[in-house]
Amino acid sequence: MSITTTPSTPTPARPASARTGPFPGRRLPSWTTAALVVAALAAYPLVFLDSAAHNIGILALTFGIAATGWNLLGGYAGQISFGHALYFGAGAYTTALLVRQGWSPWLAIAISLPVAALLAAAVGWPCFRLRHHYYSIATIAVAEIVFILVTNLPGLGQANGWELPVVEPSLANLQFSLLDKRPYYYVALGFFCLAAVAVWLFLRGRAGNYVRAIRDDQAAAAAVGINVHRYKLAAAALSGAITALAGGFYVMYVLFVDPPSGLGLDLSVSFTLMAVLGGVGRFWGPLLGAWVLVFVQDVTRQEFSGTGRSVDLLLYGALIILISITEPGGLLAILQRIWAPIARRLHRESTPEPTGSAEVKA
């Protein structure tokens, strides 16, 4: 009697596009990942009931919107800008100007988006002729020129800035009681979701493929017929509009804007650092970096008070240096490295072992 074993058909390897976990790296996130992230963000103010924790969440989401806008241009398109405070300020000042004249804050924020998009395109038109660090220096110069102009223009409040009127708390007025900041948090979360969807739609289309090709090799992209200048301008316009969304909401939250708080160079640097720390060119990187930065700022403010000015930036710089040495991909790359073996183990445990079929012959 002989026993022959017929091998079973081997399990086909999963395609690379299907091997996604909670941290899909440079791939666009799946709907499952997005739903988990949004659910966690929505649960935050229900778990942490302290007003200070709500304030951290509101600022983290607000600056996460701005950093997401920066990441579209600096991370995915490869155009490193240090002038994004210009678009944040465009959203803040446009919203403040219209609200002071009696406009609805929702309409004022909506109008600020195309204003910032046109401004970003106007800045990008000449500056995109420059490459690498020359472009970065040009964005600093433009932002600083606007900062000086606004500081000296009487029609924009000069150095004193503008205060917005306090009106009856309501969703229509986008003002709520400071005793419960959760409405501000959920509005910020809604704006972040809007910004994230806009970036996702841009990246999954032809324009997204083109800007990533430009980032990887601009000369090769131009050689195959991609209109490099046009798609840089498209990325810049959307990036500026998203950053202005953050500025418009921020001014409605603090009810005040002046050149340092709306157009300061430190804002541009912060947006860049958030994306770099979280993971530049990664979808959720700017959001993670924003939460870390805002938390560090809050801790240093409580521990050092006025004597600890800029300590948060020192700690943040140390974090970036440490992460750059260990993992240039940022915090998300570290989390992805931790998750990868766990995902493989879970996959092995959930996949049944292949078994052969035995045939008995006399």
Residue pLDDT, tens place only, 221-250: 999 999 999 999 999 999 999 999 999 999
Least confident range of 218-227, 271-280, 332-341: 332-341
pLDDT beyond 60 at 3: no
pLDDT computed for residue 242 by the predictor: 97
**Taking phi first (over 0 means left), then psi (-120 to 50 degrees means alpha), and beta for anything else, what does residue 129 get?**
alpha
pLDDT computed for residue 21 by the predictor: 38
How far is Cα 299 from Cα 241, in angstroms, rounded to an integer? 31
What 3-state DSSP class applies to 361? strand
pLDDT beyond 60 at 2: no
pLDDT level of residue 72 (50, 70, 90 thresholds): very high
pLDDT level of residue 353 (50, 70, 90 thresholds): low
What 3-state DSSP class applies to 170? strand
Mean predicted lDDT score pLDDT of the chain: 84
pLDDT level of residue 10 (50, 70, 90 thresholds): very low
Proportion of the chain above pLDDT 90, given as a percent? 56
pLDDT beyond 60 at 307: no
pLDDT computed for residue 306 by the predictor: 55
pLDDT computed for residue 32 by the predictor: 86
Residue 301: CA atoms inside 13 Å, Cβ hemisphere, count? 8
Taking only Cα atoms into account, the Rg of the chain, rounded to an integer number of angstroms, comes to 24
Helices (H), 48-129: 51-71, 85-100, 105-127
- Could you tell me which of 187, 182, 192 has the C-alpha nearest to residue 288? 192
The pLDDT tens digits for 103-133 are 999 999 999 999 999 999 999 999 998 888 8
pLDDT beyond 60 at 88: yes
pLDDT computed for residue 362 by the predictor: 39
pLDDT computed for residue 173 by the predictor: 93
pLDDT computed for residue 312 by the predictor: 65
pLDDT computed for residue 30 by the predictor: 79
What 3-state DSSP class applies to 256? strand
What is the 3 state secondary structure string of 188-211? HHHHHHHHHHHHHHHHHCHHHHHH
Least confident range of 51-65, 93-107, 223-237, 314-328: 314-328
Residue for token digits 């596009």? Answer: 17
How far is Cα 91 from Cα 243, in angstroms, rounded to an integer? 8
pLDDT beyond 50 at 357: no
Report the run of H or E that residue 257 belongs to, with start and end.
Answer: strand 256-257
The encoded tokens of residue 224 equal: 């195959």
pLDDT beyond 60 at 22: no
The pLDDT tens digits for 162-199 are 999 999 999 999 999 888 899 999 999 999 999 999 99
Q: Which residue has the higher pLDDT, 327 or 76?
A: 76
CATH value of 30-349 in 2.40.50, 1.10.3720, 1.10.3470, 1.10.10:
1.10.3470
Per-residue pLDDT averaged across 62-74, rounded? 95
pLDDT computed for residue 27 by the predictor: 63
How far is Cα 275 from Cα 361, in angstroms, rounded to an integer? 66
**Biggest distance spanned by C-alpha atoms of the chain:** 103
